[in-house]
Structures are given as C-alpha cells and as structure tokens.
A and B are shown apart, each in its own frame.
Chain A
Amino acid sequence: MNFLGSQEILSSLSQPASYLYERMSEQGPNTLYNQQQIVSLTGQSMENSRLSLQELIDKKLLQVLKQNNEVVFKRVDISEATKKLSMNKDEQLVYSHIEQSAREGIWVKTIKAKTNLHQHIVLKCLKNLESQRYIKCIKSVKFPSRKIYMLYNLQPSIEVTGGPWYTDGELDDEFISHLLTIVWRFAAEKTFPDGFNNYAKVSMKTGENEKVYTKNVVNYVTKQEILEFIQKINISKVELSIPDIESLCEVLYYDNRLTKVGVNAYKVTLQSVLDLMRDNLVQDKNEDRGEELDFLELFEDSYSIYKSKNFEEPTLTDRETVYFDEWTL
C-alpha cells in the first residue's frame, strides 16, 4: 500500500484535474457543484470534464452526493483525502459510514449491518482507525451499554451526551447541585432587601425587624439575567443556554425554592430562605406581653406545617412518635 503525502497527491494530478480542484478551492469548502457547473468551471467539453472528475474521485479529492435526485460533487480537503488514501478499502468503507453519522455517532452493530463485513474485520478496522485518531468511541446517555463511534474531530450532539448535565455519560449531581445553589442565591439577593440574610435578625414569632418589598418593586430575576450572571462568574466549563437555565429554575420551582412570577421570571420562596437560616433564626423571647395580646398569640402560636424543618426530631425512645407509614404496616 502506498502512503502518499498531500503534496504528492496534488503533484500526481493531471493538469485539467489540478486546474478543476484549484478552481473549486477558490469557491469555498462547502459548495456543491452539478455537472453543468463543473463543465463551466473547467471550460472544457463534458467528456474531458468527466475524466478530470473521475481522477479527483479516485484520489478522494471529490465526494459524490445526491441532492434533489441530481448527482452533485463536493470538494474534499487535501488532508482528508490523504487520510482516506492511507486506509485500506474496508477501513474506507467503515470510515465513510462513521463520517455519514456525523455528530450522532454510529453503533458498531449498525456499521456491521451496513457494510456487510465480518465482525472481526469491522473491529479490526475500528481499532486501526481509532489508533490513528481518525475516529473515537463515545458513550451515549440514551444507550449506555452501546459502543458508538464518530469522527475524532467532532463534538457529540446533545442527544448523545445528554446536554450540559452529563459528564462522561453520567448525570453530574455535584455540578447540578452547585448551579442550583448559585441560581437560588442570585435570585435570593434580588427577592429580599437583605438577600438570603434577610431573616437573620427577624423574630420568627413577632416578625420584628422583618423587611419585605412591596408589589411595585421589581424584585425578581429573569432567565436571561441568571444566564448572564453564570457566564460572568465563569463557574461552568460547559456552555449553558437559556433552556438549560430554565430547566434549573424549574427544578428549583419543583423543590419549592423558587416561585414563578409571570412567565419568564422567578423569585425565591420565603420558605427556602427560612429553611436555610433555620439554625440561626432569632429565638422567641418569652416576654409577658399582657392579656390583651392573647388575640395575637392565637395566630403567632398556632401550628404550621410550613415550619416543619424547624421542628425537633423525636428521639428513638419516644413512644408517642407518629409514623407516616404506620397505618399501612
């Protein structure tokens, strides 16, 4: 087998073929040409043009495609052609299928079915191509057990990688949790006058020192603002988009840590602020406020499930503990 360098390939071309390739290079890399255009480029007859075309196709410098039931040609970069020429026929076949699969990648079994080659040969080809760094094996989130191949220089699509939330095909819990905290904190800074420290000095019984915004204040954040903030602090190596921020905000909404304001904006819930501050909340002062305040105490002292995070856990020896699932046991 001959391994030709790029210069050697170009120099081995005939004059008309070389001329045609140069003219095609001038037009740009992704231009498609039909037969008429090729004839006009070469300025020769159809017969001669065909000869040049065949020569370029043989040297892998031209790719034959079909568009609207018409045969069209696409110029192939010289380095790509060199790469293909360095492969044997089986490898070329396997490579062409992998190339076609683009960013989606292709499963080994599919390659085998499409090429109609024996499994050993396919595996051998893949091994060779992989060692030469022409292709790479990737993990798919949808099918974690499948061996999927794609061209070495391509980035897998979101469907394959699972988006920014997946690292090496696994859901990155830690990354998501960090981002959730950052988004929540950013929103909390806007929602309350003192951010998430708003309730640090507030008496949880009487509401002393409490501060809240009125309806007029725009104390919410939009998805765009969150995205800009995340990009600004440069926390994520992965490029995030508005839908990614939306899915983070939705998760926080499901956790009851964010609340929706209209369609596009979010505020943090007071509940989530209190849950975060639960160890530092101001304890109730046991002041004797006189009998006339009994009326107010009715409200202040009544039980609220929303403060459940502040309740003490029952001890193991507590025989009166109410168990949620005792009834069905």
Chain B
Amino acid sequence: MGLLDTIDKIENNEKDQNTTSHNPHDIGTRNVNINNDDFYYSKDMENISVRSIRPKTFLYTTTIKKFLGEKAEAIAKILISKQRITLKALYSYLNSTDVPMDLPSIKKTLVSMIQLNLIKYYQDEIPKNFNPKLNNNKKFKQKIHYSLNDEGINVLLYSGDIISTCTMYHSYMGKPVMMLIEQIMTNCLQFGFLSIDQIIMTVKNPQHPEINEFGDEEFIKQCIDILIKDGWLARTTPLDQCPPRDLWALVYNREYYNIGQVDKTLSELKRKHQAVLKSKEKFNVLTSFSQGDVLKVSLDRLWKYKRIMHISKLSESIHGIHIAKILNFCGDIVGNKQPSLRDPLKQCGLFDDANEKTAFIEESQYKDENTKGCSFDALDIQRFIKQRKIPINLNNVLINTLVEKNNQNANKRVKRENPNLNDIQEENEDELDIDLDFSEQNSNGKRSIKDEDDDDDINIRASIPEINACLQLLSDDMQSVQFLKRTASGRYYFPFTELNSIIKQNVYDGLIESTLGVSSLRLLRCIRANRLVTEKTLCSLVLLKDKDVRHIITKLIKINAVEIQELPKASDRSAARTVFLYRIDEAHQYQYMEDNLCWNIANLINKVELLKEKNKVLLAKAEREDVVGKEEELLLTSELSQLKMINEREISSYVRLNRLLCLWEVFQF
C-alpha cells in the first residue's frame, strides 16, 4: 500500500485499525518537487572553524557519534549537508569521506537510524500519467529519499531528561509504577519504535529482586496505557516516517491537481490559494493522526512539560514560590491536552508568506483558549492537590492588607479592613458555587470548603479562596506578565502563544544579565522599550556616561543583540551627516543565542568524548571484570586520582550540558 493510499484511508476512516500494519515501503505514485537546498559539505568537518559555521551540524554529528558511532556520524554529516538523498548518492558521497562504507553496512546503519527515528524517508510515488508502454515497458523506478529527523536527535539529547521527568512525574502512583515506567521509557529510547507486545517482552522480568510487578504482564500493559494516555508514548503511523516537507508536497500536489480537474477555468492564483487551504486542513488531520500498535517516545510531550516548567519558573521569579507552584499544578492539569509546540506546518516552508504566519499565530491563540481540556478553575486545582497529596500550605502566604511598618493601625491604603484572606469576594460567586463562610453551612445547604479541608491531610492547606487569590494574581493584566487569562465562562487558561515569546525574551535577558552584566541589560531593555534610539537619547535615558554606553553597545552589537540603523541626512549619504540609530531584531537575537548555546552544548559533548578518548586505556582497565570492585588494590594511586578527575569532569560537564539544554530549548519553542 502506498503513502497516498494510507492518506486516503485516514481521510476516509480515521479509526481504521489496519493502517499501521502496512509496510511503509509499499509506497505508490506521484512525483514531488522539493527545493533541495545544497548545503556545504566538507571533509574538514572536524576542523573547528568549519564546526563553528553551523553549530547545529556540530551538535547533531557529535550527538550521533556519541550514541551510534562513527558510521552513523558519517551518514548524518552527508544527510545534513544534502538534506535529502538517495542510497546510491549516499554511497558515492560516503566513499569520498574518511569513513568509506560498503552498501550493506550503509543499509544496516540506515535501518538502525530509522529504527531510532533519526532518519525519515520518502519513496517516490508513481506518476498518474506514467504509461509503461510508452517507456519501453520499463517499470517506474521508485527512489527512496532519506533525510535526517531533528526530532530523533533531540530525543537522544534529552533521553536522560525524558526518563527522569517521566518517572518523577508519575511518582504519586507509587514505587512499582515509577520503576516500571522508568524501564519502559529506557527501553523505548534504547530500541526506538516498539510495539506494545515488544515493550512488554523487553520489560517483563519475573525474577526482579525488588518489584514483583515486573512479572505481571497486565500491570505492565496498564503502565504503557498510562504513558500513552498521558502522551509520553505516542502511537505511530507510516506517515510518521515521511518528512513533513514531502508529506506537505504530496498533499498539496494532489489538492492542486484535483482543483484543476474540477474547475478548469479557475485562475492560477485562486487555484493555488484553494489548494493551500485544503492542504492545510488535510495536513493537520494527517499529522495529528495517531493510531496503531507501534509506539515511539513523544518529544512533543517533553516540550509541553518543559514549556510549563519555564512558565512556572518565570512566575517564580515574579510572584514567588507558592504562586509558581500553583501555576505549575495548572500546567499539570492541562498536561498533554495543551496545543502542540512544534506544528509540522512550520517545517513546510509555508510561513515564508507573512499572511500565513499571521493567520497561524491567530489560530494558535484561538487554540490556546478553545482546545478541550485546556481550561481549569480553583476547584480543579484543589482536586489535583488532594489527589496527588501535594503538601502545600497557602495559609499565611497571601496577605490581603497592606502592612505599614511602625504603624499597625495605618490602614489608609487598605481596601478591606478584615485581613482574613477568606473574605476575598469572587467576581462571580454564583458561577463558582463556592461558600466563603467557613463557620456554618450556607442557605443552599452546600458544604463549606473548610469542612472539606478538615477531612484532608494536615499538610495540604489550600482553600478555594486562597487558590482563587493566586489565580487572580496570575491573571492580573496590570502585572508585567499575564500568566493566565479568563475565558468567557470564568475559567482560566494559559495564553501559550504570548507566553512563548515572553519566556524567550526573559531567558534572553537573563543570559545577557548573567554574562554581560546589568548595564548591558539596561541598554538592551531601553532600546527594546524605545524601539529606535540615537546614541545621545540612549545616554540620557539610561543615565550612563557616553563612553560606557559606546563600550557596552559594541559588545551588544557583536552578539547581534543590537543592530545599527543608518539614517542618511544628505543625498550623498555622507557618514559625517548621517545619524545612526540603534534597534533590536528579536529573530536575529534569538538565532544567535540559539546557535551559541547549540555550539556550547556540542563542544561540551565533544570535550567529554575527547577526555574519554585520551584516557581510554585507563578506563578500559578500570572496567575490566577482574578489576571492577578491586580498584583500590589493583590500580596505582595516580591511576585512582586520574579516574576521580575524569569522573568529576564528566559529572560537571553533564550538569552544564543539562543547564545549556534547558536554555537552548526555549529558543526552539
């Protein structure tokens, strides 16, 4: 069955169970035109100057080399430089590199990489107008084009993070579930695409020393279901193997052809426009389609989790720890239901058109508010806290009256006299159905919140009015960042589209402040606030000396944080009469920072690998069976101290690597 048939089947019947069982190699017809940008390819890829040109290449190749070895690295290098390549071309390119390979070993490596979701492939479709009789009875040669998959490499980079996050995320379910989930995630990351039965097979261990549940097949299946339901594991279809650009081109070409068949008088412009509209609709359905028995680790779920974490951390720096925790719980309530971060449409080159981009942003904003399961209220949060037995105490955290120092009676600025937070009135009490009177039952006979609280854990002290006060603070539009917004029905939701850019800006500012100092941050924020400023205006606004401003600006220009805008005053554009203004281009700023962090991540991985390479004799000795456990007896003192040094350096590298990844991911949101 071809890719087109698969698409047809999904369109016709989304619940078709057979879709996943088909071999994606049996792909049907039609030719696709993809703009294959020719990136450079050089034998001196190892050279540091070449590595610096495109940090992503450096990162991807280093990561693949670390996890899969030199052969996979050589293939990845060519795939990065050529973007999309056939086996034959890959073979010929590989033979001109330092790592020549024969065809079988290339095929084996490719299979391993496809299994780990590092490579996606696309098989040419047979054109509809292809007639074998006209072509000397020759069959149409369906070439397979391979291209690198960013998602797979990111999964490798974040593998440790995925395992620990996913495990700790389910810690409230108890130790057996945690251990099983850890094992399932590790196996899925290690083996790539696995069916549910295969996962059970790899995890099942009746002789497990600690957890009996490792032998219980049904229990493992339940854990897998939990992971699927929560989005950490995703069901795959043959379409997942197809690069988004190829899939887009396939869908678009078909729609374009169909529209032409239906209405032959339609102008080219209208035909293209209609084709794009219909293709977008179908493309979204196809890419969000998830059914079948084969599972993969979902990077999207990690991004969603990370986004919530970054939003919470930002709110922690603005509102404090308790309110940030409440916001974090809101994010966990929304969980996997939040809109996806990385829309495949972004990768199809559709956003070169500014109108398309604006439309996409508007649609994202609409999705933030209207996606099912994305809104919540105080009751949901309280239920969540109780369900997970989270020890949070909001008593005495939120203060409702202004504390005047040295004057306890001075309540001039206070809106309410009673400092009890529980007196905060809801804007719409009927809607929330909350009784704020703690002492007795209300007239409707509904139980007060206090009564409910009494039954609960003594560590959990978060009443509805307190949670509501937190939510009000988070949704206050007078604050610097509005973390939550209210729906028409009075519930709250995350405005993710706006928050994405706010997180980027704040992380960027944080990086500038911690590396270049507060003065740089002052200048940067001043230029951002005033958009376009001359040097003189800038000096007067930031209250710094001209010399200092010039010095800092030079540093900021060097890292693309600030740009110079020329404003000629004379017709000959003479420099003497030209005014130079400063401005900010966020896209350039973030791109530079992303590349910089990317290079540093790759450099750290490279450093660890070089360290291991330098000490490989010692490391091999320490790992020998007869040495393990008897290191102190069999190794020299100098060797032991060397081993300690290697270990310390490796740990410090990984800590820094994780921190860099934590910053780098923000610029990919």
Contacts and interface: CB of A to CB of B under 8 A. Distances in A.
B480 A260 contact: yes
A88 interface: no
B371 interface: no
A70 interface: no
Nearest to A218: B413
B525 A270 contact: no
B618 interface: no
Nearest to A299: B328
Interface stretch (A21-29, A38-46, A114-122, A319-327): A319-327
Given A251-B522, A299-B309, A327-B599, A214 B510 contact: no
Interface string A203-229: 011110011111111110000000000
Contacts of A288: none
A314 B318 CA distance: 27
Contacts of B424: 214, 216
Given A207-B321, A271-B317, A214 B513 contact: no
A49 interface: no
A113 interface: no
Contacts of A295: 168-169, 171-172, 388, 390
Interface string A68-87: 00000000000000000000
B510 A193 contact: no
Contacts of A292: 171-172, 389
Given A206-B321, A250-B541, A215 B469 contact: yes
A234 interface: no
B507 A305 contact: yes
A255 interface: yes
Interface in A280-329: 291-299, 302-309, 311, 318-320, 322-328
A214 B398 contact: yes
B509 A256 contact: yes
Contact of A256 (B55, B513, B603, B653): B513
A327 B316 contact: no
A250 B540 CA distance: 11
Contacts of A215: 469, 472-473, 476
A6 interface: no
Contact of A255 (B175, B313, B400, B521): B521
B316 A171 contact: no
Contact of B313 (A253, A304, A324): A304
B595 A322 contact: no
Given A214-B421, A254-B521, A303-B658, A308 B312 contact: no
Interface string B513-532: 11110100111011001000
A259 interface: yes
B316 A326 contact: no
A298 B317 CA distance: 17
B558 to A, nearest CB: 7
Contacts of B509: 256
Given A212-B397, A255-B522, A302 B313 contact: yes
Given A171-B543, A251-B522, A320-B653, A204 B165 contact: no
Interface stretch (B86-94, B430-438, B659-667): B659-667
A297 B649 CA distance: 26
A173 interface: yes
B151 to A, nearest CB: 23
B624 interface: no
Contacts, number: 206
Contacts of B273: none
B563 to A, nearest CB: 16
B385 to A, nearest CB: 11
A294 B469 contact: no
B399 interface: yes
Nearest to B481: A259
Contact of A189 (B405, B476, B506, B542): B405
A305 B511 contact: yes
Given A253-B525, A294-B171, A211 B397 contact: yes
A212 B323 contact: yes
A212 B323 CA distance: 9
Contacts of A293: 171, 391
Given A247-B543, A293-B391, A327-B595, A299 B165 contact: no
A265 to B, nearest CB: 9
A214 B389 contact: no
A210 B662 contact: no
Contact of A207 (B322, B472, B663): B322
Interface in B293-330: 309, 312-314, 316-325, 328
Given A171-B545, A217-B399, A217-B414, A204 B518 contact: no
A299 B607 contact: no
Interface in A172-210: 173, 176, 189-190, 193-195, 202, 204-207, 210
A294 to B, nearest CB: 4
A263 B397 CA distance: 28
Contacts of B159: none
B415 interface: yes
Nearest to A321: B656
A159 B432 CA distance: 59
A140 interface: no
A176 B514 CA distance: 23
Contact of B317 (A176, A207, A297, A304): A304
A6 B312 CA distance: 79
A305 B514 contact: yes
A269 interface: yes
A152 interface: no
A138 B547 CA distance: 22
A261 B478 CA distance: 5
Contacts of B516: 324
B604 interface: yes
A291 B399 contact: no
A262 B480 CA distance: 9
B473 A214 contact: yes
B401 interface: yes
B400 A308 contact: no
A207 B400 CA distance: 19
B600 A326 contact: yes
A218 B324 CA distance: 21
Interface in A244-279: 247-248, 250-251, 253-256, 259-262, 269-271, 274
Contact of B649 (A260, A298, A319): A319
Given A207-B321, A213-B399, A217-B414, A254 B479 contact: no
B33 interface: no
Contacts of B515: 324
B652 interface: yes
A148 to B, nearest CB: 19
Contacts of A193: 399, 403
Contacts of B559: 324-325, 328
B402 A212 contact: no
Contacts of B607: 319-320
17 contacts: A165-B543, A190-B402, A207-B321, A210-B320, A212-B398, A214-B469, A262-B478, A270-B319, A271-B318, A291-B171, A292-B389, A299-B312, A303-B662, A304-B313, A304-B316, A320-B607, A327-B52
CB-based closest 10 A-B pairs: A207-B321, A294-B171, A306-B317, A308-B514, A305-B510, A324-B515, A327-B599, A254-B522, A254-B525, A304-B313
Interface of B: 52, 55, 165, 168-169, 171-172, 175, 178, 309, 312-314, 316-325, 328, 388-391, 396-403, 405, 413-416, 421, 424, 469, 472-473, 476, 478-480, 506-507, 509-511, 513-516, 518, 521-523, 525-526, 529, 541-545, 558-559, 595-596, 599-600, 603-604, 607, 649, 652-653, 656, 658-660, 662-663
Interface of A: 165, 171, 173, 176, 189-190, 193-195, 202, 204-207, 210-219, 247-248, 250-251, 253-256, 259-262, 269-271, 274, 291-299, 302-309, 311, 318-320, 322-328
Given A207-B320, A210-B397, A306-B510, 8 more contacts: A218-B413, A255-B525, A256-B513, A294-B171, A305-B663, A307-B317, A308-B510, A326-B599
